[in-house]
Amino acid sequence: MTYMCHISVNIWLSRYKKEGIEGLKTKPGRGRKPILRKEDEPTILKMVKENRQLVQIAKAEWEAETNRTVSGPTFRRFLKSLAENTNV
């Protein structure tokens, strides 16, 4: 069984009374911002093409070029999402 804090429930009720069902939808700008963004795609693709067999080297080169770090699994998930977008 899941329990909710009464404060959260009261906030939801208040938003519903003021805005209806629209008030319960998640607003833009909420949540954690993505580490890898759409504008990183060309640079990452270039690095991967230069190092097709060694994704870790592509990741390291991207990190060195952008001065940003990302975990290996996150980098692979981003590459997988790029591949899925091209298969559509």
Per-residue confidence (pLDDT) for residue 27, from 0 to 100: 82
pLDDT digits (tens, 9 = 90+) for 49-67: 888 788 888 889 889 988 9
> Do residues 57 and 46 make contact, with C-beta atoms less than 8 angstroms apart?
no
pLDDT of 10 above 90? yes
- Asked if residue 86 has pLDDT above 70, the reply is no
Helix (H, G, I), strand (E, B) or coil at 81: helix
Q: Is the separation of the CB atoms in 44 and 62 below 8 Å?
A: yes
Domain ranges for the chain, please list them.
Answer: 6-86
